[in-house]
Chain A
């Protein structure tokens, strides 16, 4: 096997194959896929919890109304306070 005198200096002579023809399209597709995944993750982990938190109160209110016939469950001390209040 014939070896050059200084291998490291000859490293730049190693042939690099040309860039694949569809490289730009592949980058674009990969980027689109990554952005789509990021948006979905954002929706799943940030958008949905926010929406759930936002709509939880009306849903709980509806459930409570269905079960006990009042819109809100009042604490006993709050009820007393409202009952004691002069009209």
Chain B
């Protein structure tokens, strides 16, 4: 019980240092999982587009977090490091699965949700956006999702994607331009 109390008071970085010394998924790693599972789940769901893939992706993120726990050097925030793992995991999962299959899952899921709850406008918004974002490259799509859905700053995104801040801004701007050109009837906002 003392251990649980101790881990709850530590920062993420301190827990990461403790977890690196644990031989199994001990109290420090368990605490990190409990702190990040909601965030990782949300990111995986938004990047992968359906609950089944998101579940698979989020589990894989925590497995990779454990296996690479001694590689966190503390040069960035722990949350950025975790988001980097989540991003790379989701991108590799997306590459591994056909776009058509994914889109069919999304359509079926959203249609079911809309039929069940009568929440047509939210489901339509989600479906429309997912379809629109599919015209982008996977990394650009992820940039837009993390920026607008998760509210990450340009600095955080630059660290997560391991690019410069200006390059990050440019890629987001270009992705938005591409969406504007492709779907000119909708507004995608300005910088």
Contact = CB atoms under 8 A, between A and B. Distances in A.
A51 interface: no
Contacts of B62: 27, 31
Interface in A1-32: 1-17, 19-20, 23-24, 26-28, 30-31
Interface of A: 1-17, 19-20, 23-24, 26-28, 30-31, 34, 38
The majority secondary structure among interface residues of chain A is loop
A30 to B, nearest CB: 5
Interface string B23-64: 001000000011001100110011000010001001110110
A8 to B, nearest CB: 4
A24 B185 CA distance: 44
A23 B66 CA distance: 16
The majority secondary structure among interface residues of chain B is helix
A22 to B, nearest CB: 10
A19 B151 CA distance: 20
Contacts of A11: 129, 144-145, 148-149
Given A4-B125, A11-B149, A31-B63, A19 B37 contact: yes
Given A7-B188, A8-B188, A23-B58, A31 B129 contact: no
Contact of B186 (A3, A13, A16, A20): A3
Contacts of A28: 25
B132 to A, nearest CB: 7
